[in-house]
Every structure is written in structure tokens, then in C-alpha cells.
Amino acid sequence: MTKTEPATAPLLAALRGERPSRRPIWIMRQAGRYLPEYRAVRERASFHELCTTPELACEVTLQPLRRWDLDAGIIFSDILTPLAPMGAEFDFSQGAPRLAAPLRDERELGRLRVVDPRDELGFVAEAIRMVRRERPQTPLIGFAGAPLTLAAYLVEGGGSQDFHHFKTLLYSRPELIVKLLDTLTDQVALHLAMQVEAGCAAIQVFDSWASILHPGDYRRFALPPLRRLMDRLAPLGAPRILFSKGGRGNLATLLAAGADCLSLDWTCGLADAAAEAPGSVLQGNLDPVVLFGSSSELVCRTQAVCRAGDRAAGHVFNLGHGILPQTSPDAVSVLVETVHAHRQEA
């Protein structure tokens, strides 16, 4: 935390389990295609160039902060960024990320190497420093993919409906998956540490594919590396947020990972989670599609999420997943104003 970033910033206070003067809000994928200014930048630069060019990453990170009084920025990058220097570079030219040669046996997986991100991914750190210079008063969030999610991408070669190849390897050669998860845990820990050192005040780990495993397999394979990751990040002092998509059946397991805040998708009842995990700090979890409805419905449902969040030890308002590209910025204005107008129930 820098001297220009007050410890009383609503986001940081809420992540400590305190009750700030206003409910903090930031939005997953808040720098993205729903903003015309973002689309203008994309007309002259590819997604890969945005992620790897500090000046461009800084610009698109700042765009939503210029429009709205959001309580945090999140550095523009991608969860797959740390994989290229490890020996697995994804191609984003066709939209969805694809790996030319998926890693599906011992020899292919053995090619992965843990690297120093300060040498190989310095453009991420430089983008963070640029944002901090431009916007020192606003906490900046760094992020990375969870080991399970990154492993699934590597073995499958991209996204998938059923992750057939990844799950087949897990069921036939579980020791290879365990080794892969350990390697990825080491890399993710270094990547997040670099982001905190560069100026991020909090970090979020995205387990985007948590729902592909049976809860028992999630506890066996995904939880141990998550615990190690959170333990390694704890000395950095930055609050640790864990987001799990489809984690409704894994709440107790996710809490056991040791994050400071659990971010829930919209399929989880926020009030139910607060009751099941008293004393926990929660984040979320408005369905992103609510922003396509009427303004009155958006206000009503936003207020309901805030009231449910009142039952948690601390609450950071967010969507239950990333904002959709077709979202109107006007709806985001209504959302931010409604969240900031909420007052904590006694």
C-alpha cells in the first residue's frame, strides 16, 4: 500500500471485514468491449498487444475509472499471460485462446519451466506502475488464474464444454496432474508477488473452471495447491480474493483455501453463504444479465444484493461473473450509483 492510497479506502476496509462509509464496488472485466473507448483502442491493437504493451494496458485499465467512481481498478491482462514464458504460448488471434500443441503426456508436461516473472513478464509490472502513477488514490487489483484453471487450459488446449482430455488425464494419470498443479502454483505465486511489489493493493485468483470437477475431486486435487498459493501470498500483506465460477457446491472447500475474501458467482445465494460462513468477507454477486433489464429491476436486484451483503462480515459488490460486451454503460452508471447509495442495515 502506497502513501497516497489511504488505508481507509472502502475496498481495503471491506476486505479487512470492516464497514466502510460506502459499499465498495468494482466489476470483473470492467475494462472491456462494452466501453466504446476500449473498442477504439482495439481497432489499432490486438488483444495480445494490449496485454503486453504497458502503455496500452494502462490506458484501458484507467478507462472505466475515468467514467465512474469505482472503488478499485484491476490491471488489464489475461490469466494465461504467465504461461507463454513457461513454454506454452496461447494464440488469441481467433478470439478464443488456443494452444497449438496441448500438453497431454509426461514428456510434453515436462517441458514447462518456472520462470522469474520480473525477467519474462516485466510488461505487467510496468503497466501496474504506470496506473499507480496516474491514479494513486484508487486501489489496484492484480490477478492470476488458479492452478486448476490453468492446468485445464494447458491439457485441453483451450476452453471446452466437457474438458474431456484434462479429466481423462486426471482419471488415468493423477500423478501427472498433481505435478502440473504444483508447477503452476509456483509460477502463479511468483506472478502475483510481482504484481503486489509493483503496486497492487489486493489480488484475485480466478478459478474459472472450478465447476468441471466433482466436489470430492476438487477437494483432492484443487484445494491443496490453492492452500499453498494462499500461504505463499500471505506475507505480502495484500488481501487475497478467490473467485470460483460454479462453486456453489464447494463453499466449505473454498473457505478452507485460506483467502481473505470469497467471491461468489450469481448461482450462489449471498445471504445463504453469509449464514453458512459467519465472519467471512464475501464479494459479488449480481447476475451480469440483470444489467440488460429495466432500470427499476436493476435497482431492485442491486439493492437486494447489498442487503444480503450486509449479513457478511464484509462485502465488496461485484457481478457474479464478467460484464458482458453488449452491456450499456448507462446501466453501469445506475449500478454504481445504487451501490454507493446503499446504507448498511443495523
| 248 within 8 A of 273, measured Cβ to Cβ | no
C-alpha–C-alpha distance, residues 241 and 253, integer Å: 15
Identify whether 4 is part of a domain. no
Cell of 104: 497431454
Task: Determine whether 33 is an active site residue.
Answer: yes
Q: What average pLDDT does range 101-125 have in this prediction?
A: 94
Q: 136 pLDDT exceeds 80?
A: yes
| 230 within 8 A of 240, measured Cβ to Cβ | yes
Task: Determine whether 132 is an active site residue.
Answer: no
Which CATH number do you get for residue 329? Answer: 3.20.20.210
C-alpha–C-alpha distance, residues 205 and 318, integer Å: 15
Identify whether 3 is part of a domain. no
pLDDT band at 2 (very low <50, low <70, confident <90, very high): very low
Q: Identify the active-site residue in 38, 104, 135, 153.
A: 153
Percent of the chain whose predicted confidence (pLDDT) is above 90? 88
65: Cα separation from own chain's centroid: 17
Task: Determine whether 228 is an active site residue.
Answer: no
Task: Determine whether 153 is an active site residue.
Answer: yes
pLDDT band at 49 (very low <50, low <70, confident <90, very high): very high
- Could you tell me where the beta strands, DSSP code E, fall in the chain? 73-74, 90-91, 98-99, 140-145, 202-207, 240-244, 261-264, 281-286, 314-319
pLDDT band at 6 (very low <50, low <70, confident <90, very high): low
Residue spans of alpha helices (H) in 36-120:
36-42, 47-52, 54-67, 106-109, 117-120
C-alpha–C-alpha distance, residues 58 and 125, integer Å: 11
Q: 22 pLDDT exceeds 50?
A: yes
Q: What average pLDDT does range 191-215 have in this prediction?
A: 96
Identify whether 150 is part of a domain. yes
Identify whether 282 is part of a domain. yes
pLDDT digits (tens, 9 = 90+) for 261-271: 999 999 999 99
Bridge partners of residue 206, in order along the sequence: 145, 243
Provide the pLDDT for residue 102. 92
Identify whether 256 is part of a domain. yes
Percent of the chain whose predicted confidence (pLDDT) is above 70? 97
Structural domain containing residue 255: 10-341
Cell of 16: 479487512
pLDDT band at 8 (very low <50, low <70, confident <90, very high): confident
| 78 phi/psi in degrees, rounded to 5 | -145, 150
Of 12-16, 56-60, 247-251, which range is least confident? Answer: 247-251
pLDDT digits (tens, 9 = 90+) for 232-263: 999 999 999 999 988 666 788 999 999 999 99
Q: Identify the active-site residue in 23, 34, 38, 78.
A: 78
Q: 7 pLDDT exceeds 90?
A: no
Q: What average pLDDT does range 285-303 have in this prediction?
A: 98
Q: 95 pLDDT exceeds 80?
A: no
Identify whether 336 is part of a domain. yes
Provide the pLDDT for residue 44. 96
| 240 within 8 A of 260, measured Cβ to Cβ | yes
Q: 117 pLDDT exceeds 70?
A: yes
Q: For residue 311, how many other CB atoms are within 10 A of its CB?
A: 16
Identify whether 1 is part of a domain. no
SS (H, E, C) the chain: CCCCCCCCCHHHHHHCCCCCCCCCECCCCCCCCCCHHHHHHHCCCCHHHHHHCHHHHHHHHHHHHHHCCCCCEECCCCCCHHHCCCCCCEECCCCCCEECCCCCCHHHHCCCCCCCHHHHCHHHHHHHHHHHHHCCCCCEEEEEECHHHHHHHHHHCECCCCCHHHHHHHHHCHHHHHHHHHHHHHHHHHHHHHHHHHCCCEEEEEECCHHHCCHHHHHHHHHHHHHHHHHHHHHHCCCEEEEECCCHHHHHHHHCCCCCEEEECCCCCHHHHHHHCCCCEEEEEECHHHHHCCHHHHHHHHHHHHHHHCCCCEEEEEECCCCCCCCCHHHHHHHHHHHHHCCCCC
C-alpha–C-alpha distance, residues 325 and 176, integer Å: 37
Q: 346 pLDDT exceeds 70?
A: no
Provide the pLDDT for residue 96. 83
pLDDT digits (tens, 9 = 90+) for 151-191: 999 999 998 889 999 999 999 999 999 999 999 999 999 99
Q: Identify the active-site residue in 16, 22, 33, 129.
A: 33
Q: How many domains does the chain have?
A: 1
Q: For residue 39, how many other CB atoms are within 10 A of its CB?
A: 12
Provide the 8-state DSSP code for 161: S
Identify whether 25 is part of a domain. yes
Provide the pLDDT for residue 300. 98
Q: 4 pLDDT exceeds 80?
A: no
